[in-house]
Amino acid sequence: MRSRYTAFVLNDEVYLRFSWHPQTCPEDIALDTKTQWLGLQIRATEQGQEHDDCGRIEFVARFKLNGKAFHLHENSQFTRLDKRWVYLDGEIIN
């Protein structure tokens, strides 16, 4: 999760595609260079250890866009693909 957050900070679409499951990766990731990422907080994890094939992460990412502060609170699901972790999908928490 932290590496994907960093890829969003750096607008690194190549890494985001690499770390996204091919069945759920959108054609257009739509990175916004105006977004100013402010921090990532991991709230909870479930599974996702060396011996697991799947895992969940609850996180909050804070950012500013056009001077206004926002946050993204999500439960993300990851799975193993070719011995690496990839983002499968997520559920936004209000």
Beta bridge partners, 14, equal none
Distance separating alpha carbons of residues 6 and 53, to the nearest angstrom: 23
pLDDT in tens, 9-29: 999 999 999 999 999 999 999
What fold is seen in the domain 2-92? Nuclear Transport Factor 2; Chain: A, (3.10.450)
Please count the helices (runs of H) and the strands (runs of E) in the chain: 2, 4
Distance separating alpha carbons of residues 81 and 37, to the nearest angstrom: 28
Task: With cut-offs at 50, 70 and 90, classify the pLDDT of residue 30.
Answer: confident
